[in-house]
Amino acid sequence: MRFFYSYKYSLLFIPTLFSLSAFHAIADSTKQRTGNLTPAAVQQTQNETMQADHEGDEHEHGHEDEVETITVSSTRVGRNVTDEPVRIEVINQEELQEKAMMRPGNISMLVAETGGVRVQTTSPALGSANIRLQGLFGRYTQLLNDGLALYGGQAASIGLLQIPPTDLARVEIIKGSASSLYGGSAMGGVINLVSRKPSDEAQGEVLVNVTSRDGQDLTTYLAAPLNDSLGVSLTAGGHHQSTQDFDGDGWIDMAGYERYTARPRLFWEGESGATLYATVGYMTENRQGGTLEGYTLPDGGFFQQTQDSERIDSGIIATGPLGDVLTWNVRGSAMVQNHDKQFAEDIDEDRHESYLVESTLSGYTDKSQWVVGVAMQSDNFASEYYPEFDYTFDVPGIFAQADYELNEHLSTSLSMRLDDHSEYGSQLSPRVSLLYRPQDWTVRASYGRGYFAPTPFVEEIEAAGLSHLAPLENIQEETAVTSSLDIGRQFEYIEANVTFFASNVEHVTELEAYASEMDGPLDRVRLVNTEGESRIYGSELMLRYKWEDFKVTASYLFLDATEYNATSDSRQDIKLTPKHSAGLVAMWEQHGKGRVGFEAYYTGTQRLSGNPYRSASKPYWHLGLLGEITLGQYSWFINAENLLDVRQTKEDPLVLPMRAPDGQWTTDIWSRNDGFTVNAGMRMRF
């Protein structure tokens, strides 16, 4: 068996222009210009930055008083994040370690607490989730690891919960269309997980975690230099969660799972500046949800929902200089993922494959950096029991990017990609970004177009399987125009930032219930392109205060996300999209001694669909406390999540009175569903 979004509301926020910079990793001193990097130096600087991210944890005093530069790789040219016209948010390793203590088994907590980012549960039965950037559907987000599509061109929602954060140096986030850089899977943005690089000495880390919900995690990270030019690392982990039914109705509210992961990496750097990076990953998981043994649903039936997953992936990046001003780069990745699924009496075995080969040539002048490249990406799906949904997408493409410094204060980035999609034809994706920096101000503006190649796997189908879905007919590609204006300023102790953004998405695919001739009314669904367009307008407001060992971060997100309703010939809010959300994180930390933190997150009212108990959700607060004490190489931590014990099943049942046309037996998750939880553990470094 095989295991597997007119800035019509902008004026409302001008009085709050000074809010928090999203560039979490930049301190006062990073206002210094680093200038253009030679292509041969780009990879070297990335390597040194990854090294500095790791070594920063070993400093006895806070690194925020030191000069810190972060060279980001998500835009391909490898520039200092402060010089990059494209807005990139960076989650540094300090924050990664905080989140790893809260959720060591996966990266959901890591990204969920970033402004404009929402982790949306897609399957209440199995607990799977995807990442929504600025109100856009999660399927538009491309998840990368070191710039490689190791989790597939269109990563399944369950994949987010199968990636441990143990070996990450930082996370880079691009919001808005990035199809000009990465093709049709990045219409909503990119999240790039950047791995740690071995230092000059052997290092290791072991983290052990237990939770009050009968969950356990064990993760390890080992890294060592083999010689002056070669280093290796290994990350491995085991994770267990028992099934939990909090309201006693017989339906599993927290899916149970057992998962094992392993990822070795190799880093080589030659004397000429050539580099080689290679990795292989393996993951296996058994996940269980549905009804508990001995319990039945309203129709009297037993509904067991399980998913066994197995993923094997590999990736390689080779870079080298060509003379003094040119650099070549070749990268490739392959991913094979198998699933065994059961939805009561419906079973399926399927296989996802994703392959990427890409070659680029880059160069520089005194005022510019550029890169041109060709790529070939292939995504395949094959189902054992529902072969009518099989697909193969072959997508050759060419792309180019040029960053040009117009003068001391103004620079621009232009990128464009032309894909020849085997199913949806030629797709042109341009993007233009501007950076203006007068004195202590930073202003960024971006405009981009992108596309998304639809598959059967919208969120509801991932949750309920293919058995209730009609074969796809006359589906068009989804397209989006995204734009943003970002204004920030650095004060002595305060970083402030406001972002206005807009997205117009056409041909959005969604499920439509219909009555089949054989089985009766509204018992099946089909995938269709909706009429009209989805419009998302919003603003992110953020503020960060740093003084000595104290750091306070506050954020607010406003979203006006609407879609056309053909039945009423009017516009309605997009479901599960809160108009207002906010966050506050306060942290005291002394490196080498410990930390104490408090967090509070507010989620406003959301429109609900297909929920017989209510048409709009209740707003709620999530509160948390974190404490850590470090004694030498040992750190002991305790974390309390959801102090108010918020749980959706306290308000309404999760189980529907009757099965939905798409096959689901539950309402959507609009709140938390885990209640008050405590986890504690130990991290040992050696």
pLDDT, tens only, 366-406: 889 999 999 999 999 999 999 999 999 999 999 999 999 99
Could you tell me if residue 76 is inside a domain? yes
Q: Which residues contact 627 (CB under 8 A, 6 or more apart)?
A: 594, 595, 596, 597, 637, 638, 639
Residue whose structure tokens are 């319990």? 295
Could you tell me if residue 4 is inside a domain? no
Could you tell me if residue 616 is inside a domain? yes
Could you tell me if residue 615 is inside a domain? yes
pLDDT value at residue 386: 95
Task: Please state, in angstroms and as integers, the Cα–Cα distance from residue 360 to each residue in 317, 328, 397, 399, following that order.
Answer: 11, 6, 12, 9
Query: Backbone dihedral region of 632: left (phi > 0), alpha (psi from -120 to 50 degrees) or beta?
Result: left
Could you tell me if residue 1 is inside a domain? no
How many domains are contained in the chain?
Answer: 1
- Residue ranges of the chain with pLDDT lower than 50? 1-67
Task: Please state, in angstroms and as integers, the Cα–Cα distance from residue 542 to each residue in 109, 153, 555, 600, following that order.
Answer: 19, 32, 4, 14
CATH number at residue 531: 2.40.170.20
pLDDT value at residue 341: 93
Nearest CA-CA partner of 158 in 202, 115, 123, 199: 123
β-bridge partners, 394: 378
Could you tell me if residue 46 is inside a domain? yes
Could you tell me if residue 581 is inside a domain? yes
pLDDT value at residue 517: 62
Handedness of CA 96, 102, 103, 109 (dihedral sign): negative
pLDDT value at residue 23: 29
Could you tell me if residue 173 is inside a domain? yes
Q: pLDDT tens for residues 576-622?
A: 999 999 999 999 999 889 999 999 999 999 999 989 999 999 999 99
pLDDT value at residue 52: 40
The number of helix segments (H) and strand segments (E) in the chain equals 5, 33
DSSP, res 109: H
Range of the domain at 412: 10-685
DSSP, res 455: -
